[in-house]
A and B are shown apart, each in its own frame.
Chain A
Amino acid sequence: MALSILLVFCFLANISLGSVYIPLNEVFNSLLGNSTEQETWQHIIQNYRLPKALTAILVGSGLGISGLLMQTLFRNPLAGPFVLGISSGASLGVALVILGSSFFGGVFAVFLISKWSIVIAASLGSFLVLLAVLMVSLRVRDTMAILIIGLMFASITSAIVSVLSYFGSAQQLQQYIFWGFGSLGNLSWDELLIFFIIYCLGLIISLVSVKSLNTMLLGENYAKSLGLNIKRSRFAIIMATSLLAGTITAFAGPIAFIGLAIPHLTRQVFNTSNHKILLPAVFLFGAIVMLICDSIAQVPNSDYTLPINAITSLVGAPVVIWLLVRKRKMVF
Chain B
Amino acid sequence: MEKDNQHIILKTKYLAIGYASKKERTVVASNINIELCKGELVGLVGVNGVGKSTLLRTLTNVQNPLSGDIFINDKNIKHYAALDLAKVLSLVLTEQLMSKNLSVFEIVALGRQPYTNWVGNLSENDMSIINMALTQTNVSDLKHKRCFELSDGQLQKVMIARALAQDTDLIILDEPTTHLDIYHKVSTLKLLQKLAKETDKTILFSSHEIDLAIQLCDTLIVMTPNHVVSDMPCNLITKGVFDSLFPEDLIAFDEKTGTFRVKK
Note whether A and B form a binding pair.
yes
List residues of A whose CB falls within 8 A of some B CB: 75, 208, 210-211, 214-219, 221-222, 224-229, 267, 271-274, 276, 331-332
Chain A residues with CB under 8 A of B166: 226
Distance of A210 Cα from B120 Cα, bound (Å): 8
Distance of A206 Cα from B83 Cα, bound (Å): 21
Chain A residues with CB under 8 A of B89: 225
Instruction: Report which of A222, A227, A272, A331 forms a contact with B82, defined as CB distance below 8 A.
Output: A227
Q: Which of B96-110 contact A (CB under 8 A)?
A: 96-99, 101-102, 106-107, 110
Which B-chain residue is minimally distant from A232 (CB atoms)?
B82
Distance of A177 Cα from B62 Cα, bound (Å): 49
Chain A nearest CB, measured from B115 CB (Å) = 10
Chain A residues with CB under 8 A of B87: 227
Closest 4 CB pairs of A and B: A227-B86, A227-B83, A211-B120, A225-B91
Q: Say yes or no: A211 contacts B98, CB within 8 Å.
A: no
The answer to whether the Cβ of B127 comes within 8 Å of any Cβ in the partner chain is no
List residues of B whose CB falls within 8 A of some A CB: 60, 62, 81-87, 89-91, 93, 95-99, 101-102, 106-107, 110-111, 113-114, 116, 118-120, 166
Q: Say yes or no: B119 contacts A217, CB within 8 Å.
A: no
Distance of A272 Cα from B116 Cα, bound (Å): 20
Q: Say yes or no: A218 contacts B110, CB within 8 Å.
A: yes
Q: Say yes or no: A211 contacts B113, CB within 8 Å.
A: yes
A221-B91, A221-B95, A227-B82 known; A215 and B101 CB under 8 Å? no
Name the prevailing secondary structure of the B interface residues.
loop
19 pairs from A and B in contact (CB 8 Å cutoff): A75-B98, A211-B118, A211-B119, A214-B113, A215-B110, A217-B97, A217-B110, A218-B110, A219-B95, A222-B93, A224-B82, A226-B111, A227-B83, A227-B85, A227-B86, A271-B101, A272-B101, A274-B102, A332-B99
Chain B residues with CB under 8 A of A272: 101
Chain A residues with CB under 8 A of B82: 224, 227-229
8 additional contacts (CB under 8 A) given A219-B95, A273-B99: A210-B119, A215-B110, A217-B110, A219-B93, A226-B111, A228-B113, A267-B101, A274-B102
Q: Say yes or no: B120 contacts A276, CB within 8 Å.
A: yes
Chain B nearest CB, measured from A332 CB (Å) = 6
Distance of A276 Cα from B96 Cα, bound (Å): 23
Which A-chain residue is minimally distant from B174 (CB atoms)?
A221
Q: Say yes or no: A227 contacts B91, CB within 8 Å.
A: no
Distance of A244 Cα from B93 Cα, bound (Å): 35
Distance of A75 Cα from B99 Cα, bound (Å): 8
Which A-chain residue is minimally distant from B117 (CB atoms)?
A211
Distance of A211 Cα from B87 Cα, bound (Å): 17
Chain B residues with CB under 8 A of A271: 101
Q: Say yes or no: B86 contacts A217, CB within 8 Å.
A: no
Chain A nearest CB, measured from B33 CB (Å) = 25
Distance of A224 Cα from B113 Cα, bound (Å): 11
Q: Say yes or no: B113 contacts A221, CB within 8 Å.
A: no
Q: Say yes or no: A211 contacts B83, CB within 8 Å.
A: no
Chain B residues with CB under 8 A of A332: 99, 101
Distance of A301 Cα from B110 Cα, bound (Å): 52
Chain B residues with CB under 8 A of A222: 91, 93, 95
Q: Say yes or no: B99 contacts A217, CB within 8 Å.
A: yes
Chain A residues with CB under 8 A of B93: 219, 221-222, 225
Distance of A4 Cα from B119 Cα, bound (Å): 22
Q: Say yes or no: B118 contacts A216, CB within 8 Å.
A: no
A215-B110, A273-B102 known; A225 and B120 CB under 8 Å? no
Which A-chain residue is minimally distant from B112 (CB atoms)?
A226
Which A-chain residue is minimally distant from B90 (CB atoms)?
A225
Most central of B84, B113, B119 by chain A CB within 10 Å = B113
Chain A nearest CB, measured from B169 CB (Å) = 14
Distance of A216 Cα from B110 Cα, bound (Å): 10
A227-B87, A228-B82 known; A218 and B62 CB under 8 Å? no
Q: Say yes or no: A218 contacts B120, CB within 8 Å.
A: no
Q: Say yes or no: B98 contacts A219, CB within 8 Å.
A: yes
Q: Say yes or no: A219 contacts B96, CB within 8 Å.
A: yes
Distance of A75 Cα from B96 Cα, bound (Å): 12
Distance of A274 Cα from B114 Cα, bound (Å): 17
Distance of A59 Cα from B120 Cα, bound (Å): 28
Distance of A307 Cα from B99 Cα, bound (Å): 36
Distance of A267 Cα from B89 Cα, bound (Å): 33
Q: Say yes or no: A214 contacts B120, CB within 8 Å.
A: yes
Chain B residues with CB under 8 A of A225: 60, 86, 89-91, 93
Distance of A304 Cα from B114 Cα, bound (Å): 55
Chain B residues with CB under 8 A of A208: 118
Chain A residues with CB under 8 A of B62: 221, 224
Chain B nearest CB, measured from A267 CB (Å) = 8
Chain B residues with CB under 8 A of A227: 81-87, 113-114
Which B-chain residue is minimally distant from A223 (CB atoms)?
B113
Distance of A221 Cα from B90 Cα, bound (Å): 11
